[in-house]
């Protein structure tokens, strides 16, 4: 059985098996998808009901009403898009859940995908694999690797080498 | 580093063209009212003397004043002005400028209004560098320096720049766009005398051209190379060779594609650097680079002249201790792309006794700011940017941080502070503790947000700032503000030259107070505030003294703006729509108004109507 380090979550990836194990990554927050056009007040799709931030298009009363603060307004807060984009990337990286890896087992007709972030350690991971592929993995020891089973969990690292799962600390 | 550097404003040099016609000059320019001996020889001597003396005059303001004395002084001043500053590229045409000033060596040109940075204006509004470079190619073959801010520069313009001026030495592009790496490649390959290439906060298209390799192979004169805003990867080996053959290099700011291991290699080749932008400050993603094993501390320690540090684009905080050796000498530190906590900041900042300029993310929280206040007694400029720039996000910094800074950093001159909540008390405290404030920009990110302790408007806080900070020239207001705040500004803000207003005020009176009360006002930018035509009219006496007025999402009508246009022929009044809007109804979405000697510009795009 082998893993491959594959972070490409291509929705068009062909699979023979049941759908449902892999999820698409979170959509980016709406602020980063804002088109680079100036939205007119009434075109601002998120503030259709709250018009109190737009003075021109409304006959606003002289009293100040604090508007609902949820709507995102074009160009506010006044941060240059360059800076916003740089920091947005960092946030997205922090927020997107899931380190997805492909799992294949010798002899199985199709591959599976699992999210490593879901598991807190190797025992959990191995248990999940055992359930998924209906096999037993055997005892792990540093000296001998996995004892007592035909199947051994391995993965391919950055250099392209096949490594035994479990030697490196989980983090 | 400069974002929105403020320059000293001066009486408009462009307006002198028209006002000169109204002036009475003595024929010889030698004095007032005395009988003249018509001797051409003495005139010439006088002009020669004048020329020699005026060479020493560098301040723009002084030069503008000198040029108004008489025709002779006007002529000689024009001959001796070598640095030409034009604050609005549409105020005067290139030909008019080159006709008057014939011996210019350095051009400083500004284009789009600042609110264009925040997507409040469609792209392709204008501010093209092209007509300027064409005109200067003919008029100033000896041109050495060009500084552009918010201009549209094309690859062809860069090519022309490099081909037309054999002694060209310095190019600084701040917040510019319209060019790419292929333009850079042509530029650097042809500018044999290049000393400075600074690309700051500009948009550079990735044409996948290896521009770093295009620097000439011979020893270079480079003193400054800043490209931290270039988002495309660069050829590192070529950069390393370039740095190795640039013995005069003092300023180097790398982009985020340079890893910390690569930074190390550059630092050991250039220990003479004074300004360093560190790039990503994280290890390369390519395994086996061995970035972890390098002795970064020694590399930093070798840079004994380092005073300005920036970068940290993808910082891995474990590497921060490497910079300990330079902290004591730092006068400028930019952590504004580094998502670090107070705990990670403290060991660094507690050594930065000489720090004068500090830019940082609010991730350091009030606690981090308190640490800054304890150590950085020499702080002159502080900018606190939001990591999460949304209105309803949690605010890690607040009035607590502002108060602490005001108490610890008494010499503060300039502050830009983004927060989610604020109190009048803290702002008042700052006005009292920091009397040297010249720039006060507070951005409470929630619109119309009141003092979160008292529930009152923020009027008194800003009122205290204009009242107590007697040197204040630049102000940006936010939070819940009534007309009273503007009353204060009009009454006490006598030196204010730049004012930024957003989501503030109750009625036309607000704007009236400012237009009638602030004689030094040059740049006024307003958005989403309830000011209408009547308020606009109240500034008629002053608009010729201003560089520009911007008003978007206010209560202006076409008719009101047309009245201004009719009353003031020397103003250009642009009504700007969103680019896909076709209708021309009576309400004015965006007004951008500026004085100009040239009348309506001929390069206005379709979404701009000039009244």
Whole-prediction pTM: 0.78
Query: Closest to B387 (Cβ–Cβ): which among A43, A73, A87?
Result: A87
Identify the weakest region by mean pLDDT among A87-96, B17-26, B131-140, B357-366.
B17-26
Query: Closest to A74 (Cβ–Cβ): which among B120, B449, B500?
Result: B120
CATH architecture of A100-164: Roll (3.10)
Q: Which chain A residues are Cβ-neighbours of B486 within 8 angstroms?
A: none
Does residue A43 sit at the B interface (CB-CB below 8 Å)?
Answer: yes
Query: Closest to B288 (Cβ–Cβ): which among A43, A81, A159?
Result: A159
Does residue A66 sit at the B interface (CB-CB below 8 Å)?
Answer: yes
Identify the weakest region by mean pLDDT among A18-22, A64-68, B375-379, B509-513.
A64-68
The chain B residue lying nearest A58, using CA atoms, is: B555
Give mean pLDDT, residues B472-477: 98
pLDDT of residue B587: 86
pLDDT of residue B385: 96
Q: Is B465 exposed, middle or buried (0-12, 13-18, 19+ CB in 10 A)?
A: buried
Are B391 and A60 within 8 A, CB to CB?
no
Q: Which chain B residues are Cβ-neighbours of A67 within 8 angstroms?
A: 447-448
| Position with higher pLDDT, B249 vs B59 | B249
* Average pLDDT of the residues of chain B: 91
Are B392 and A70 within 8 A, CB to CB?
yes
The chain B residue lying nearest A83, using CA atoms, is: B337
Q: Each residue of A95-127: b (16+ CB within 10 Å) or e?
A: eeebebbbbebeeeeebbbbeeeebeebeebbe
Are A38 and B507 within 8 A, CB to CB?
no
Q: What is the pLDDT of residues B544-603, one digit of tens each?
A: 999 999 999 999 999 999 999 999 999 999 999 886 666 667 889 999 999 999 999 999
Give A67 to chain B, closest Cα distance, Å: 8
Q: Which chain A residues are Cβ-neighbours of B588 within 8 angstroms?
A: 56
Question: Domain residues of chain A, as ranges?
Answer: 100-164
Does residue A41 sit at the B interface (CB-CB below 8 Å)?
Answer: yes
Are B388 and A91 within 8 A, CB to CB?
yes
Q: Which chain A residues are Cβ-neighbours of B388 within 8 angstroms?
A: 87, 91
Hey, how many other C-beta atoms are within 10 angstroms of the C-beta on B554?
28
Q: What is the pLDDT of residues B325-355, one digit of tens each?
A: 999 999 999 999 999 999 999 999 999 999 9
Are A36 and B288 within 8 A, CB to CB?
no
Q: Which chain B residues are Cβ-neighbours of A91 within 8 angstroms?
A: 387-388
pLDDT of residue B284: 85
The chain A residue lying nearest B607, using CA atoms, is: A38
- Closest C-alpha among A39, A67, A62, A41 to residue A52: A67
Q: Which chain A residues are Cβ-neighbours of B529 within 8 angstroms?
A: 55
- Closest C-alpha among A147, A145, A136 to residue A165: A145
Are A74 and B314 within 8 A, CB to CB?
no
Give mean pLDDT, residues B432-454: 96
The chain A residue lying nearest B448, using CA atoms, is: A66
| Position with higher pLDDT, B379 vs A170 | B379
The chain A residue lying nearest B337, using CA atoms, is: A87
**Distance separating alpha carbons of residues A2 and B266, to the nearest angstrom:** 41
pLDDT of residue B481: 98
CB B195 within 8 A of CB B220: no
Give me the sign of the Cα torsion angle B63, B64, B67, B68. Answer: negative
Positions of E strands within B504-588: 523-527, 548-552, 571-576
Does residue B249 register a pLDDT over 70? yes
Does residue A51 register a pLDDT over 60? no
Query: Sorting pLDDT into bands at 50, 70 and 90, what band is B44?
Result: confident
Give mean pLDDT, residues B398-404: 97
Are A69 and B446 within 8 A, CB to CB?
yes
CB B422 within 8 A of CB B402: yes
Give mean pLDDT, residues B66-86: 90
| Position with higher pLDDT, A94 vs B224 | B224
Q: What is the pLDDT of residues A124-169, one digit of tens each?
A: 888 888 887 777 777 777 777 777 777 788 887 777 778 888 777 7
Does residue B102 register a pLDDT over 80? yes
Are B447 and A37 within 8 A, CB to CB?
no
């Amino acid at each position: 059985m082998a893993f491959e380090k594959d972070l490409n979550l291509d929705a068009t990836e062909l699979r023979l098996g049941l759908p449902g194990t892999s999820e698409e990554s979170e959509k980016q927050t709406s602020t980063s998808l804002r088109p680079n056009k100036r939205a007119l007040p009434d075109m601002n799709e998120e503030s259709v009901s709250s018009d109190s931030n737009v003075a021109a298009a409304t006959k606003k009363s002289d009293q100040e009403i604090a508007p609902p603060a949820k709507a995102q307004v074009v160009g506010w807060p006044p941060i240059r898009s360059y800076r916003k984009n740089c920091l947005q990337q960092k946030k997205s990286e922090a927020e997107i859940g899931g380190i997805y890896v492909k799992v294949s087992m010798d002899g199985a007709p199709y591959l599976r995908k699992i999210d490593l972030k879901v598991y807190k350690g190797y025992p959990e991971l191995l248990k999940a694999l055992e359930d998924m592929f209906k096999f037993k993995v055997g005892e792990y020891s540093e000296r001998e690797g996995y004892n007592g089973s035909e199947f051994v969990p391995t993965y391919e690292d950055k250099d392209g080498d096949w490594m035994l799962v479990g030697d490196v600390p989980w983090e | 580093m400069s974002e929105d550097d403020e320059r000293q404003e001066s009486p408009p040099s462009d307006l002198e063209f028209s006002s000169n016609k109204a002036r009475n000059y003595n024929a010889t320019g030698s004095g007032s009212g005395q009988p003249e001996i018509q001797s051409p020889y003495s005139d010439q001597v006088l002009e020669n003397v004048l020329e020699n003396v005026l060479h020493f005059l560098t301040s723009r303001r002084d030069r503008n004043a000198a040029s108004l004395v008489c025709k002779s002084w006007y002529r000689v001043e024009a001959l001796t002005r070598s640095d030409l500053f034009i604050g609005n590229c549409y105020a005067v045409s290139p030909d008019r400028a080159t006709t008057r000033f014939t011996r210019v060596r350095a051009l400083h040109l500004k284009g789009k209004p600042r609110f264009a940075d925040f997507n409040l204006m469609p792209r392709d509004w204008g501010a093209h560098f092209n007509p300027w470079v064409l005109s200067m190619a003919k008029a100033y073959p000896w041109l050495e320096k060009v500084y552009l801010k918010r201009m549209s520069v094309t690859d062809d313009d860069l090519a022309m720049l490099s081909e037309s001026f054999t002694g060209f030495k310095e190019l600084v592009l701040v917040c510019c766009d319209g060019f790419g790496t292929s333009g850079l490649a042509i530029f650097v390959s042809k500018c044999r005398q290049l000393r400075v290439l600074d690309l700051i906060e500009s948009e550079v298209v990735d044409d996948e051209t290896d521009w770093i390799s295009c620097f000439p192979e011979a020893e270079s004169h480079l003193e400054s190379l800043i490209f931290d805003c270039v988002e495309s990867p660069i050829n590192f080996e070529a950069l390393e060779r370039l740095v190795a053959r640039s013995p005069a290099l003092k300023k180097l700011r790398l982009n985020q594609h340079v890893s910390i291991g690569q930074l190390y290699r550059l630092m050991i080749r250039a220990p003479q650097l004074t300004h360093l932008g560190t790039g990503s400050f994280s290890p390369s993603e390519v395994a086996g680079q061995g970035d972890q094993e390098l002795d970064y501390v020694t590399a930093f320690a070798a840079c004994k002249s380092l005073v300005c540090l920036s970068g940290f684009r993808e910082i891995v905080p474990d590497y921060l201790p490497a910079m300990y050796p330079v902290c004591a000498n730092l006068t400028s530190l930019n952590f504004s792309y580094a998502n670090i906590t107070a705990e990670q900041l403290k060991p660094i900042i507690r050594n930065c006794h000489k720090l004068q300029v500090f830019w940082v993310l609010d991730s350091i929280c009030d606690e981090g700011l308190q640490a800054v206040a304890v150590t950085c007694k020499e702080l002159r400029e502080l900018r606190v940017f939001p990591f999460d720039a949304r209105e309803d996000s949690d605010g890690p910094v607040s009035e607590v941080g502002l108060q602490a800074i005001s108490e610890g950093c008494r010499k503060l001159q300039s502050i830009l502070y983004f927060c989610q909540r604020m109190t009048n008390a803290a702002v008042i405290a700052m006005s009292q503790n920091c009397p040297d404030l010249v720039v006060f920009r507070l951005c409470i990110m929630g619109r119309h947000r009141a003092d979160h302790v008292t529930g009152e408007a923020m009027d008194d806080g800003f009122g205290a700032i204009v009242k107590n900070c007697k040197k204040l020239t630049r102000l940006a207001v936010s939070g819940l503000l009534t007309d009273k705040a503007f009353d204060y500004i009009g009454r006490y803000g006598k030196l204010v030259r730049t004012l930024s207003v957003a989501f503030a005020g109750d009625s036309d009176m607000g704007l009236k107070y400012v237009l009638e009360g602030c004689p030094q006002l040059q740049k006024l930018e307003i958005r989403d505030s309830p000011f209408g035509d009547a308020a606009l009219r109240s500034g008629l006496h002053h608009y010729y003294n201003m560089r520009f007025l911007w008003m978007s999402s206010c209560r202006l009508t076409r008719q009101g703006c047309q009245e201004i246009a009719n009353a003031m022929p020397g103003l250009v009044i642009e009504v700007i729509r969103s680019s896909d809007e076709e209708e021309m109804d009576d309400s004015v979405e965006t007004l951008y108004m500026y004085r100009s000697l040239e009348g309506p510009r001929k390069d206005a795009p379709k979404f701009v109507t000039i009244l």
